Amino acid sequence: MDIEEHSGGNAVKTIIPLSRRTLLRRGTIVLGSIALIPIAIHSLSGKAGSATKGMLHYQDSPKDGHSCSGCSSFRPPTAPDAETGTCKVLEGPISPHGWCMAYSPR
Ligand code: SF4
Per residue in 64-93, pLDDT (tens digit) is 999 999 999 999 988 888 999 999 999 999
Integer Cα distance of 48 and 87 in angstroms: 7
Integer Cα distance of 47 and 50 in angstroms: 8
CA angle 63, 69, 72 (to 5 degrees): 100
CB of 67 shorter than 6 A to ligand 1: no
**Pair 91, 52: CB distance under 8 Å:** yes
**Mean pLDDT confidence for 21-46:** 68
- Tell me how far apart the 2 most distant CA atoms of the chain are, in Å: 81
Q: How far away, in angstroms, is 59 Cα from ligand 1 center?
A: 10
β-bridge partners, 85:
94
Among 4-13, 19-28, 30-39, 54-63, the range scoring the smallest mean pLDDT is: 4-13
CA dihedral 39, 43, 48, 49 (to 10 degrees): 10
Integer Cα distance of 106 and 94 in angstroms: 17
**pLDDT per position as a tens digit, 41-70:** 555 444 568 899 999 999 999 999 999 999
**Mean pLDDT confidence for 3-18:** 66
CB of 71 shorter than 6 A to ligand 1: yes
